[in-house]
Amino acid sequence: MKYQLIVFDWDGTLLDSAGAIVQAIQSACIDLSLPVPEDSQARHVIGLGLVDAMRHAVPDLPPERYQAMVDRYRYHYLAGDHKLTLFDGVPQMLERLHAAGHILAIATGKSRLGLDRALDHSGLRPLFQASRCADECHSKPHPQMLEELMAEFCMAEASTVMIGDTSHDLLMASNAGVDALAVTYGAHPHNHLVEHKPAACLHSIQELDQWLLNFA
């Protein structure tokens, strides 16, 4: 077993939520009479902690309005998050990896409250042994989330892999000294992901599952 510890991003990697995040960012801007970012600009911040994400999505946003922006974003996102679904094949892939003895973990830009809500709604909580969220650690691409997960399970960098759909995930992996797998069906386009030299770029959950079966 090459990768004993497999760390997944959540939004855009396991959950089909990128479109909903973009809409929530744009709706929050409309509520606050702020410039509305283009889809590509809003998608780029997916994976960052909420305050970092809002600061990058709306560069002219004054610091004193960060919390109002976060509050409106949460209002719009939570209004529809119960309708979001996992990508096809996610439960089966995670169950296979868990049964094979891999330690599964999550490193996400969500808050702890947001991830707990998502895990309970998805039914995937029993398959994950640990997680780190953006309100507990430095936001991606800082390596703290991965460093803490490796320390928790006494795992070396060579035994750990990070899987995500954004350049923030891949940079975090690089900063932590671990391999990364990019998935191209989420927030960031293939050409942005490949720049960061992941071990592989996979275009579906089925491709990801097969790669892990062959190489993990």
Strand locations in 66-156 (E): 103-107, 130-132
Q: Return the H-helix or E-strand segment holding 201.
A: strand 200-202
Q: Please tell me the chain's helix, strand, coil percentages from 3-state DSSP, rounded to the nearest 5.
A: 50, 15, 35
> Cis before residue 62, ω within 30 degrees of 0?
no
Name the phi and psi angles at 127, rounded to 5.
Answer: -85, -15
What is the 8-class DSSP label of residue 165? S
**CB within 8 Å of 212: residues ≥ 6 apart:** 3, 6, 93, 97
The 3-state secondary structure of 169-196 reads HHHHHHHHCCEEEEECCCCCCHHHHHCC
Position 67, amino acid:
Q
What is the 8-class DSSP label of residue 136? T
**Looking at the annotation, which residues are catalytic?**
9, 11
Tokens of 211: 């790669």
